[in-house]
Every structure is written in C-alpha cells, then in structure tokens.
C-alpha cells in the first residue's frame, strides 16, 4: 500500500484548537498549554464564547468559529462535546482544514456508533483526515508540535530520538511517554489512535515506514481495524525498519475489556501471534519488554546470527545471561581455536590473569580494569563464530575504571551488535548514561539484556530470510 501523505499532521504550519479554554484543568486549556510550549507555528484559539485566553505568558484572541480565523489552518484539534463534532467538521471543511485530531469522547466506545459514522462521513466529504475520536492527541518531538492534553508537569515528554510510538489507549500512551522520558529514550513521534474512525494503525505504520526521522515503530494495540491491510502493510514495512507491538486482550477477559474501551474487536490472540510471525513484527509481552526491544534496535544493527559471546566481571551474572539466552532460542558462541590460543598466550605472558575463564562466558573476574575488558571484547568481536556481544559490568568493583566508556565506543568499529548490562544503583546508572551517549544500549538487569539480544537476533533472522541482510 502507498503510504498516506500525513506530514501536515506532524508538521503543520498553523493549528486551531476548537474548544480552547481559559479555565485551568479543562482539556481545552491543557491543549493550548501543550501546543504553545515549544511549537513555533501559528496557533488559533476557537470557542463559541469568544474572549481571550492567556497561556504560557502569551495572549490569544478567541474566535467564535474556525471560519473566523483570518489565515489558513492545516490542523484542527477538536475538544468539544461529541454531539457538536460533526458540525465542527463541516466548518473545518469550509475553512480548508487538512486534518482533525478529535480529542472528544462519547462515540463508538460509548455505544454511539452512528455518531462516529456521521463524523467520518462529513470528514470524507471534505477530504479531512481524522485522528481519533476519543484520543489523547499527537506529538512530534522534533518540532514541538504537541496537542497532548496531559500537562508537562504531570506527564513528561521524552527527548527527540528514533522510536515512534502509537497507542490505542490514551492513558497507556501517556504512561509510556512519561516512562520513556525518565529513561531518556528518544522518540520521534507519538500518536494516540483512539477509536480509529478514519486513520488506523496500518495508515500510521505505512507513514512511519517512510518517515526519515523514525528508526523503530512501536505500538500498543487492542485490535487491528482491518486484518488484511495490517498484514500487507506490516510485511512491507518490516523489511525497512522494525515494528514492535504490545498486543493487549490476550485473554478472553482482556478481549472483552478492549471491546468496551475503544470499541475494538480484539480477536483471538493466536491469530495475532501468527500474523506477527508471518510479517516480521516483534511481539512484546510488557511495556518494559517493548522498550528493551526498541532501544536495542534503535541503537544497534540487527544480528547476522544467533551466536552470542558474553564478557563479564561477575561469574553469576554470566551464568544467568547464558540461561536466559538459551531459553529464548539463542546459542552461546563456541569461540574458535585461534581465539582460545590468543587468550592462552596472553595469560602465559602475564597480560591476562591465570584465574580468568575464557571459554564463554568470558569471565574477566572482579578485579578487571577497563583494559582487561577491552582485550576480551576485541578477541570476542574478532571471532567469526560470534554474531552478538553481551558485556556485563558490575560497576561496584573499584577496579573497573571509567575507561570502559571510551572502550565501548571503540568496540563499535567491528560492526557487530553489542548489548551492555550494568546492574545496580546510582553509580552504574551514571556510567550507563555515559555509555549510551557513545551509542551502546545499556540495561539494568540480565533479563532486560536477554530481551535486547533476542530483538537483535529475531529481527536479523527476518531480514535474512527476506534477502535484506
């Protein structure tokens, strides 16, 4: 399918907030605050009451109708009672608006399918593309266009980065944005899908597949709108960039809850699992796993095989990582005789200690400085039997110096994916941020690191099967 042209939704030159309000706590006031914080396009306030609104130190005249706005408007953000929305859409059509983000609830999810159908009918008459209704809004972290109605002091916005996220649940989407911000995970675009009366998850996947600013597409869905469309779009886009989906409604009770939430048909989870497998979509089982996958694929190349080498200064952590990798279908790399010989020679010459183990997991032991780590990492990465390298660092050891940060940057020259695991508290957390600034993803637990390797291996398999790697 040809990707829909939706740049106007994320890069509008001008925006009208219909239902704008001067009353703190009202949705129309929160949207005005969000939009005017970083976005430098033109913003117009619309409310039948007229008057003036002051937000973020700026004053805005309030137009009684969008038709009174003395300029072209690309996008209308609509936050008025549901029964008025179809008429508002007609006014937007007369104004020449290209896209409408309908925040208002009270449509299909509330048993009023006919009102939602009327909204779509009117939008199609004017050629207006609709996000929602019953949604949180959209956010472009690149240019600051943000019509999310959760205020920044309650829900942080993440930095700009490569991960796009779409969500059928506004509340879950808000939690994801907050969580990504606290973990410094960069996002390109956020889309709250709502009821998907017009634009659905497949439309946005197709659009994001062509978006140069997005490297990884992620989403929370309860049910797809059109199974065949999703299948075809996903199969095409995963050959260009990874798609990771957290599918809710995996149980019968969950599926029933999804139907009353956004009016979506959840369908059998087994059908979704099969569809994900056949289209190369990675299926996540939790929010944490979704971002473990996404961070790895945003920062590292997919793996060309499933053979993993581990370098660690803690034997127990190496054993746990081995167990986790094998349980998820990966293999511990069998180091070549040449690599083993290099380790033996260095031990004999005193460059490496006699009591370290180099059989994989490569245990550089607790007194290892960064220079010992670097030797072990180089030998592992230079081994043709190694597809992925996992580095585990227990920074609680006083021997491990900050030279490990620059060493990790140098290791990327080998072109093989690397995952770093740094368990612990404040100091490991500080070191993790420094290593991530060099381009290597860092995880807090062994289990998170296993997720990361799995994503790199699984997506690499899909690309290889389709002749793309």
User: Which domains can be identified in the chain, with CATH numbers?
Assistant: 7-297 (3.40.50.261), 301-466 (3.40.50.261)
What pLDDT was estimated at residue 261? 47
pLDDT surpassing 60 at residue 376: yes
Quote the DSSP letter at residue 109: G
**CB neighbourhood size of 221 (10 A):** 25
Q: Give the contacts of 200 (CB within 8 A, at least 6 positions apart).
A: 193, 224, 225, 226, 229
User: For residue 256, what pLDDT band results from cuts at 50, 70 and 90?
Assistant: low
Of the candidates 84, 75, 168, 80, the one whose C-alpha atom is nearest the C-alpha of residue 119 is: 84
Q: CA-to-CA distance for 203 and 210, rounded, in angstroms?
A: 11
pLDDT surpassing 80 at residue 64: yes
Contact 234, 212 (CB under 8 A): no
What are residue 78's phi and psi, to 5 degrees? -110, 120
What is the pTM assigned to this prediction?
Answer: 0.95
User: For residue 267, what pLDDT band results from cuts at 50, 70 and 90?
Assistant: low
For 323-349, what is each residue's pLDDT tens digit?
999 999 999 999 999 999 999 999 999
User: Residues 51-72: what's their mean pLDDT?
Assistant: 97
pLDDT surpassing 90 at residue 289: yes
What pLDDT was estimated at residue 153? 83
Q: Which residue has the tokens 């106007």?
A: 8
For 132-167, what is each residue's pLDDT tens digit?
999 999 999 999 999 999 988 888 999 999 999 999
User: Residues 226-240: what's their mean pLDDT?
Assistant: 97
Contact 38, 245 (CB under 8 A): no
Q: CA-to-CA distance for 144 and 10, rounded, in angstroms?
A: 9
Q: CA-to-CA distance for 64 and 233, rounded, in angstroms?
A: 41
User: Residues 444-448: what's their mean pLDDT?
Assistant: 97
User: For residue 262, what pLDDT band results from cuts at 50, 70 and 90?
Assistant: very low
H-only helix segments in 213-365: 227-237, 252-261, 269-279, 287-299, 315-327, 337-348
Half-sphere exposure of 458 (CA within 13 A, CB side): 26
Distances (CA, A) of 149 to 55, 57, 136, 389: 14, 18, 6, 42
Measure the N-to-C terminal CA separation of the chain; round to a whole number of Å: 23
């Amino acid at each position: 399918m040809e990707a829909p042209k939706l740049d106007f939704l994320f890069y509008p030159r001008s925006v009208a907030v219909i239902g704008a309000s001067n009353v703190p706590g009202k949705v129309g006031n929160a949207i005005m605050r969000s939009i005017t914080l970083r976005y430098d396009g033109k913003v117009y306030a619309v409310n039948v009451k007229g008057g003036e609104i002051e937000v973020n130190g700026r004053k805005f005249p309030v137009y009684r109708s969008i038709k009174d706005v003395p300029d072209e408007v690309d996008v209308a953000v609509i936050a008025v009672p549901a029964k008025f929305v179809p008429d508002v859409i007609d006014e937007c059509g007369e104004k020449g608006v290209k896209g409408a983000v309908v925040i208002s609830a009270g449509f299909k999810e509330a048993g009023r399918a006919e009102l939602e159908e009327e909204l779509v009918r009117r939008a199609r008459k004017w050629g207006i593309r609709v996000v929602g209704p019953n949604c949180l809004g959209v956010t472009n972290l690149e240019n600051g266009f943000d019509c999310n109605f959760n205020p920044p002091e309650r829900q942080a916005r993440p930095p700009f980065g490569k991960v796009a996220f779409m969500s059928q649940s506004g509340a879950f989407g808000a939690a994801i944005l907050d969580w990504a911000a606290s973990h410094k995970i960069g996002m390109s675009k956020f889309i709250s899908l709502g009821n998907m009366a017009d634009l659905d998850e497949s439309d946005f996947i197709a659009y994001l597949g062509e978006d140069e600013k997005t490297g990884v597409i992620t989403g929370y869905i309860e049910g797809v709108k059109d199974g065949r469309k999703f299948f075809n779009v996903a199969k095409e886009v995963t050959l260009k960039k990874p798609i990771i989906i957290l599918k809710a409604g995996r149980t019968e009770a969950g599926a029933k809850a999804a139907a009353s939430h956004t009016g979506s048909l959840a369908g059998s989870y087994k059908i979704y699992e099969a569809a994900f497998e056949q289209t190369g979509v990675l299926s996540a089982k939790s929010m944490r796993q979704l971002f473990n996958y996404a961070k790895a694929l945003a920062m590292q190349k997919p793996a060309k095989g499933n053979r993993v080498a581990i370098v660690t200064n803690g034997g127990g952590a190496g054993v746990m990582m081995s167990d986790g990798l094998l349980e998820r279908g990966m293999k511990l790399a069998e180091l070549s005789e040449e690599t083993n010989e290099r380790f033996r020679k260095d031990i004999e010459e005193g460059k490496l200690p006699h009591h370290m183990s180099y059989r994989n997991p490569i245990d550089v032991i607790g007194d290892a400085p960064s220079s010992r780590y670097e030797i072990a990492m180089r030998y592992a990465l230079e081994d043709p039997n190694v597809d992925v390298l996992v580095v585990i660092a227990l920074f609680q050891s006083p021997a491990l110096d900050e030279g490990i940060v620059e060493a990790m940057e140098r290791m990327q020259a080998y072109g093989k994916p690397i995952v770093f695991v740094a368990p612990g508290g404040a100091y490991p957390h500080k070191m993790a941020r420094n290593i991530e600034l060099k381009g290597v993803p860092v995880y807090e637990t062994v289990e998170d690191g296993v997720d990361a390797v799995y994503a790199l291996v699984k997506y690499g398999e899909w690309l290889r099967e389709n002749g793309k790697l």
